[in-house]
Amino acid sequence: MRTIIALVVFAVSVTARGADQTALAQENDSLAKQIIQMEKNALERWNNGDPSGYIEILADDAVYFDPSLERRLDGKEELIKILEPIRGKIYVDKYEMLNPKVQAVKDMAILTYNLISVKGQETWRWNCTEVYKLESDGKWRIIHSHWSLTKPDKK
């Protein structure tokens, strides 16, 4: 009888753990889709000369690295000073987000992907890392953004 009770308790705990893991996987998948869509929405606007898509999803204390800058930018206000002067000046004919991956824990999510941007005959290849944080207002915002150029193909 003890063996049967032990087996039942074990089976229930394994089933509960499996259900918890399934729910967690579904929650992570839903969050990944949400974060990727936020990034795509911001990219769409960026590619049409509008940096507001990114400005709207930046946390106030966001930090930013870009290969065109000599140093890290600290804070949303500092980023806005860089982004506003290029409003209406950046246009991309097409882009492709490759290999997006979201890794999440509690109130943090890291999105990494490769980006190919094409304008006319020019193609740019990028690596991107965006760290999102769930803010107290329930919205996910970027607290760290890092862009770098992808190593070009050898010819």
pLDDT value, residue 16? 61
Task: Tell me the domain boundaries of the chain.
Answer: 2-149
pLDDT along the chain (155 residues), means of 10: 65 60 61 97 96 96 94 96 93 96 96 96 96 97 96 65
Token pair of 62 as six digits: 């966001």
Q: How far apart are CA 32 and CA 29, in angstroms?
A: 5
The verdict on domain 2-149 having CATH code 3.65.10.10 is: no
pLDDT value, residue 24? 46
pLDDT value, residue 138? 95
Answer whether 96's CB lies under 8 Å from 43's CB.
no
Q: How far apart are CA 54 and CA 145, in angstroms?
A: 10
Q: How far apart are CA 10 and CA 4, in angstroms?
A: 10
Query: Considering just the CA atoms, what is the radius of gyration of the chain in Å?
Result: 21
DSSP state of 93: S
Going by C-alpha positions, the residue among 130, 67, 126 that lies closest to residue 95 is 126
pLDDT value, residue 59? 97
The predicted model scores a pTM of 0.79
pLDDT value, residue 29? 87
For residue 120, give the 3-state DSSP assignment: coil
Q: How far apart are CA 151 and CA 138, in angstroms?
A: 37
